[in-house]
Amino acid sequence: MSIAEVKKNIEHKMGRSIDSFKQELAKIRTGRAHTGLLEHIQVDYYGSYVPLSQVANLTLVDARTIGVQPWEKKMVSVVEKAIRESDLGLNPATHGELLRVPMPALTEERRRELTKVVKSEGETAKIVIRGLRRDAKEQLDKLVKDEGVPEDSGRRAQDDVQKLTDKFVAEIDELVQTKSSEIMKV
């Protein structure tokens, strides 16, 4: 493995961890409707659990309501039960074959709790990024020690890895700030 491969590999892994963090943020609701809130809900479909998006069409009815249209008529009650029992605190209403899932307004206290959750998720993502940095530095030290790579090249590569780490940590901070201000907006 070369220095370039180590840097490319670490940048790819850091990018994937940012994508994962964005998916976690999408699950935190802000009071506005977003179909991503329901995508991770598992539904009992003929004895096996599948994501809701595989048994129903998710749409936005308006800014505060998600429409869920199961593809099979008998799945309406199963989907309704799965949404109601999820940890999201949502209460769907059935209108024939369409489920309407209104987003309840968030209280000030709940908004503050959600910003703490967002910050906690951000810290977890930063820990992952720093762990990847540590792994990259270990790989680079091993290359210098075992492969005969010049120490100057190893140090420059470690500086590049640190710059990558700083870039991704700044991106996480920006995402946390954006999501927190979105949650606190009434």
Per-residue pLDDT at 186: 64
Query: Are both 22 and 41 inside the same structural domain?
Result: no
Q: What is the average per-residue pLDDT within 129-151?
A: 89
Average pLDDT, the chain: 86
Query: Are both 122 and 139 inside the same structural domain?
Result: yes
- Residue 142's domain comprises 3-27+107-184
Q: What is the average per-residue pLDDT within 154-181?
A: 92
Query: Are both 89 and 114 inside the same structural domain?
Result: no
Higher pLDDT, 88 or 66: 66
3-state SS, residue 88: coil
Residues 143, 6 contacting (CB under 8 angstroms): yes
Contacts of 56-59 with C-beta under 8 Å, sequence gap 24+, read: 56/99, 59/35
Query: Are both 89 and 23 inside the same structural domain?
Result: no
Query: Are both 61 and 153 inside the same structural domain?
Result: no
CATH number reported for the structural domain that contains residue 84 in this entry: 3.30.1360.40
CATH number reported for the structural domain that contains residue 16 in this entry: 1.10.132.20
Cα-to-chain-centroid distance, residue 173: 14
**Neighbouring-strand partners of residue 172:** none
88 pLDDT above the threshold of 80: no
Per-residue pLDDT at 47: 83
Residues 103, 29 contacting (CB under 8 angstroms): yes
If we measure between CA atoms, which residue out of 8, 10, 22 comes closest to residue 175?
Answer: 22
CA distances from 16 to 23, 45, 90, 122, 128 (A): 11, 30, 30, 14, 11
31 pLDDT above the threshold of 80: no
Last residue of one domain, picked from the residues 43, 73, 102: 102
Query: Are both 138 and 81 inside the same structural domain?
Result: no
Higher pLDDT, 170 or 35: 170
Could you read off the pLDDT of 148-161 as tens digits, one per residue? 888 888 899 899 99
79 band by pLDDT with thresholds 50, 70 and 90:
confident
Last residue of one domain, picked from the residues 81, 102, 123: 102
Q: Backbone phi, then psi, for 151, in 5-degree steps?
A: -60, -35
Cα-to-chain-centroid distance, residue 176: 12
Last residue of one domain, picked from the residues 102, 118, 145: 102
